Amino acid sequence: MGRVAVITSGKGGTGKSTLAAGLGVALVRRGNRVLIIDCDAGMRGVDLMLGVSGKLVFDIADVVRGNCPPENAIYPCGTVPELYILPAPQNIRDEISPHIMRQLVRVLEKYYDHILIDCPAGIGTGFESAAAAAGYAVIVANAEPLSLRGCDKVRQRLVRLGIPEIRLVINRFNEKKFRKMNVFPDLDSVIDKAGARLLGIVPEDGAAAAQAQKGQPPEGRSKAVYAFDRIAARLDGVEVQLEI
Ligand SMILES: Nc1ncnc2c1ncn2[C@@H]1O[C@H](COP(=O)(O)OP(=O)(O)OP(=O)(O)O)[C@@H](O)[C@H]1O
Ligand SMILES: [Mg+2]
């Protein structure tokens, strides 16, 4: 697996930013130096989840315009040493082009073990830029028909862009709700429908979600944190059995 991931989804709100923050923290726990790049111009969110939004002055658009060197727009996540964030522009008009994004990430990747690029849902400019700079993709989907339909569209676009590795994370999984919905017989059929190899399953976890909304990096022993740790190990090349 490469070191630069685009974290994407077809439908909005599947948990991309939550996964980016959770995985970032989990990768740091494994001894990595990690940069999260927020490509969701106008709707940035990871900074809030990691509790750094109050500190932000510069963003990725300032770097591209030459208003500041990259290091001035990269913020350490105070409570998690070795986790850094490069925020998205506040304005959607300042979206970064794929060509520029690729150049920027090529420079930045020398300084980090992993770069996670959070992007907007769908296949607009934010997605195209994030994908242009990425070595592999993580599609975040929920185990529902609508989410999976969007997932297939994104997957097809990633294939056309030549992304060599496309993996799936099923987020907010709740066995009881899944059975009650009774659309898919099992998780294997969800994975088949998504058309991507499974990287991990993150359970529905209200406690972890509430922490993220309060700007507290996902730590502790919650179900989601356990899942982030397992995914992080896989990204580091460690074989961890999938738990379905
Ligand atoms: N595993 C989880 N368990 C419970 N709630 C979750 C989980 N993951 C995410 N959420 C909640 O789902 C909502 C959407 O999450 P998030 O903002 O990470 O999604 P997103 O894909 O980044 O959205 P967008 O497409 O708008 O960028 C949030 O309220 C978040 O707290
Ligand atoms: Mg998001």
pLDDT tens readout for residues 108-167: 999 999 999 999 999 999 999 999 999 999 999 999 999 998 898 999 999 999 999 999
User: Which fold is adopted by the domain 4-235?
Assistant: Rossmann fold (3.40.50)
pLDDT tens sequence across 202-241: 999 998 888 888 888 877 789 999 999 999 999 999 988 8
Q: What per-residue confidence (pLDDT) applies to 244?
A: 59
Tell me, what's the pLDDT at 69? 95
Q: How far is CA 7 from the centre of its chain?
A: 4
Query: Can you state the angle between helices 145-160 and 125-133, rounded to 10 degrees?
Result: 60
Ligand 1 atom showing the smallest separation from residue 11 Cα: 25
Share of the chain above pLDDT 90, in %: 81
Residue 1 is predicted with a pLDDT of 60
Q: What is the pLDDT of residue 107?
A: 95
Nearest CA to ligand 1 atom 12: 15
Q: Which ligand is nearest to the CA of 13?
A: 1
Higher-confidence residue of 242 and 69: namely: 69
Q: Is 206 touching ligand 1 by the criterion CB < 6 Å? A: yes
pLDDT single digits (tens) 153-173: 999 999 999 999 999 999 999
Enumerate residues 6+ apart whose C-beta is below 8 A from 244.
187, 188, 201
CA–CA separation, 210 and 188 (whole Å)? 29
Ligand 1, pocket-test mutation among 17, 18, 48, most atoms within 8 A of CB: 18
Does ligand 1 have an atom closer than 6 angstroms to the CB of 126?
no
Can you tell me which atom of ligand 1 is nearest the CA of 18?
Answer: 18
Closest CA to 5 of 155, 121, 240, 167: 167
Asked if 142 and 152 count as a contact pair (C-beta separation under 8 A), the reply is no
Report whether pLDDT(93) > 90: no
Query: Is the predicted pLDDT of residue 2 greater than 70, yes or no?
Result: no
The Cα 9–Cα 128 span in angstroms is 12
Q: Residue 206 CA: which ligand 1 atom is closest?
A: 4
Is the CB–ligand 1 distance for residue 38 below 6 Å?
Answer: no
> How many whole angstroms from 73 Cα to the centroid of ligand 1?
25
Q: Looking at the predicted structure, is the pLDDT value of residue 94 above 90?
A: no
State the DSSP H helix or E strand holding residue 100, giving kind and residue range, or none if neither.
Answer: helix 98-108
Query: Distance (Å, rounded) from C-alpha 101 to C-alpha 112?
Result: 16
